[in-house]
Amino acid sequence: MKIFKNDRPANASESPAVEPEIEPVAPQPVETQEQVTPKVPDIESQENEDTMISTLENLREQINSLRAEKARIIESEEQLRVKIETEIESKKHNIEGLKAEIPVLKQRCEKLATLLQIPVCK
């Protein structure tokens, strides 16, 4: 039974078959497109660069605009806070004035009711 190509039947002569030797070949460098032609900036890469610069400038403008808007909002918030604090102080002062007036008014009503001999509800 023959399994491999060089297998010989048992009755074959014992002399080995001579195969030709193969000589190794040194690898040759392969020239690529980049090696053959010099690198010249193409129109697409220039357009991409221009687009990137334009995009970066636009983003910077957006950042500056948003920072300015933020500063305006913070200033408005501070102004509103001051107005609220002023209003709170005004309301507190008004309440203190009313609290001071009420006993005086009650006392005057009691005097008038006593003069008129009307019972006073306290």
User: Residue 52: left if φ>0, alpha if ψ -120 to 50, beta else—which one?
Assistant: alpha
Task: Determine the residue type at 37.
Answer: T
Domain boundaries, the chain: 48-115
Q: How far apart are CA 5 and CA 32, in angstroms?
A: 41
- CA dist 83 and 35 (Å) reads 74
Q: Identify the pLDDT of residue 47.
A: 82
Return averaged pLDDT per consecutive 10 residues of the chain, 122 residues in all.
Answer: 53 55 64 55 78 95 98 98 98 97 94 89 70
| CA dist., res. 109 & res. 118, Å (int) | 10
- DSSP H helical segments within the chain, as ranges? 33-36, 43-115
